[in-house]
């Protein structure tokens, strides 16, 4: 029995680990020259600390099985450093500098606006989905005369921090699926997510991994699945496809695209038209010494200047988009910052990384309230320009339906299966969701081969 796994990210590696543990022969076909997929930890900085340019946190920590495993390993003595970096953030604006949001009661108004969105879409399931920006404007119109001038000015911009969750702009983002309801606190992985990748990798034979193997065609429908790549043609009894949703959505002849023979079912293809992809960027700035106040909290959020949004084809301006800074000195005791960017800004700065610090410098200068030095080292993500990712993870624009693609992809196509953060409800868009989906597909194969029993909870469609 021979199983092919297309993609060596966390879902593919988890799938391979489970199958290998049951004595099955697996082969991972990875297009890049490394494993990990959209998990990538940079360890070559000047301060000797890990910087995750992909997944950084364990989300949904009350129900996250991957997090539970890491905690169990930590109790057994493995060096997992974890921190809940969810202290009260500092907000900064272009006009006012550090914002006194407690005095202005902005958090209370933001919470009320979120409740308005929730009620609007969950009390009326047939309500037409519109961009988040439009729904915020509806809230402000409803509350006219009840909000202060600054509340009206800033609450919408504070809600734009959701752009740094979804990786898309609020004038495109689905209102219906905008709010983030985490099951438990978010825990930052100080040790680096490559520890998780290395742990999975260690249980898989080196001979089972083919790097720089770019799959371009899959022939399905028979007892064997034929997989064509730059390494030739291979035949497998089962194939688990773990490439990102963005790759499944590519047209023919685009780099990284896969030709399906026969074509994917219409229901599956149609479902992929109902979902989009987000672009979350990360930029690390290392300094030779600490120059900002030690009292600055672990998170700093710059609020976009109201009315500053430009044309979608214009060059982004500082203060046009929300930005999240992690003050890594609070975590590691080292003078470094990690900046997070949303869709349009991510695509711009990942294409022109040499412009990154000039974009962020005026913001951080407002935080420090003095002249500041330039960094001695800059590291940036490249997810939007990487042909094998083309972005970060699934995201919903107004009118999208994330449930249909998950249902269609998790059904699979007999001996062709799908895994990844875009194929699962629990942990969708997150590393642990991808990990769980890899485990799910491995269990599917094991049940088909009668190597494990089928429980009442299992659903093989």
Residues annotated within a binding site for substrate: 340
Q: How far is Cα of residue 269 from the mean position of the Cα atoms in its chain?
A: 23
Q: Which residues fall within 8 angstroms of residue 389, CB to CB, at 6 or more apart? A: 37, 38, 244, 246, 247, 383
Task: Please enumerate, by residue number, every residue annotated as part of a binding site for FAD.
Answer: 11, 30-31, 215
Task: Please enumerate, by residue number, every residue annotated as part of a binding site.
Answer: 11, 30-31, 215, 340
Contact assessment for residue 380 and residue 283, using Cβ atoms and an 8 Å cutoff: yes
- Nearest-angstrom CA–CA distance, 405 and 393: 14
Sign of CA dihedral 293, 295, 297, 301: negative
Contact assessment for residue 187 and residue 57, using Cβ atoms and an 8 Å cutoff: yes
What are residue 225's DSSP bridge partners? 236
Q: Where are the strands (E) in 63-191, listed by range?
A: 82-83, 90-93, 97-98, 187-189
Number of residues written out for the chain: 461
Residue 2 phi, psi (nearest 5): -125, 125
CA of 212: how far to CAs of 6, 358, 417, in Å? 12, 35, 22
H helix or E strand, kind and range, residue 359: helix 356-368
The pair of structure tokens assigned to 186 is 């978010």
- Nearest-angstrom CA–CA distance, 220 and 45: 45
DSSP string, 323-334: EEEEEHHHHHSS
Only one residue has tokens 């930052």, namely 188
């Amino acid at each position: 029995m021979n199983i092919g796994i297309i993609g060596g990210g966390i879902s593919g590696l988890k799938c391979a680990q489970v199958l290998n543990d049951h004595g099955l022969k697996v082969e991972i076909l990875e297009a890049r020259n490394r494993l990990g997929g959209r998990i990538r930890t940079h360890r070559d900085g000047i301060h000797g600390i890990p910087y995750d340019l992909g997944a950084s946190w364990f989300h949904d920590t009350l129900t996250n099985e991957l997090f539970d495993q890491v905690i169990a390993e930590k109790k057994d003595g493995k060096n997992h450093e974890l921190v809940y970096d969810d202290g009260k953030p500092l907000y900064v604006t272009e006009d006012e500098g550090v914002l006194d949001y407690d005095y202005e009661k902005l958090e209370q108004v933001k919470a009320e606006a979120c409740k308005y969105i929730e009620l609007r879409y969950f009390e009326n399931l047939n309500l037409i989905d519109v961009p988040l920006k439009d729904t915020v404007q509806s809230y402000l119109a409803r509350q006219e005369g009840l909000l202060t001038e600054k509340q009206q000015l800033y609450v919408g911009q504070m809600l734009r921090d959701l752009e740094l969750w979804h990786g898309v702009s609020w004038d495109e983002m689905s209102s219906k699926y905008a709010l983030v309801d985490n099951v438990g606190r978010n825990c930052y992985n100080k040790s680096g997510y490559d520890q998780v990748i290395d742990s999975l990798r260690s249980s898989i034979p080196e001979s089972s991994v083919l790097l720089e193997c770019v799959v371009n065609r899959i022939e399905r429908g028979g007892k064997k699945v034929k997989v064509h790549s730059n390494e030739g043609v291979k035949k497998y009894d089962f194939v688990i496809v773990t490439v990102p949703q963005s790759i499944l959505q590519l047209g023919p002849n685009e780099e990284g695209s896969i030709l399906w023979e026969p074509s994917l079912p219409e229901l599956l293809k149609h479902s992929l038209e109902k979902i989009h992809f987000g672009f979350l960027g990360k930029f690390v700035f290392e300094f030779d010494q600490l120059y900002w106040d030690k009292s600055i909290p672990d998170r700093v959020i710059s609020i976009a200047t109201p009315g500053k949004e430009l044309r979608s084809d214009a060059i982004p301006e500082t203060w046009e988009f929300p930005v999240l800074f992690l003050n890594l000195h609070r975590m590691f005791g080292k003078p470094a910052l990690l900046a997070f960017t949303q869709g349009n800004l991510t695509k711009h700065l990942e294409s022109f990384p040499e412009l990154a610090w000039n974009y962020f410098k005026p913001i951080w200068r407002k935080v420090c309230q003095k002249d500041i030095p330039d960094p001695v080292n800059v590291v940036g993500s490249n997810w939007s320009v990487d042909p094998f990712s083309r972005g970060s993870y699934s995201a919903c624009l107004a009118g999208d339906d994330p449930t249909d693609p998950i249902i269609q992809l998790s059904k699979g196509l007999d001996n062709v299966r799908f895994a990844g953060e875009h194929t699962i409800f629990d942990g969708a868009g997150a590393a642990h969701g991808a990990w769980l989906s890899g485990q799910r597909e491995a269990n599917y194969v094991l049940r088909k081969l009668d190597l494990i029993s089928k429980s009442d909870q299992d659903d093989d469609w």
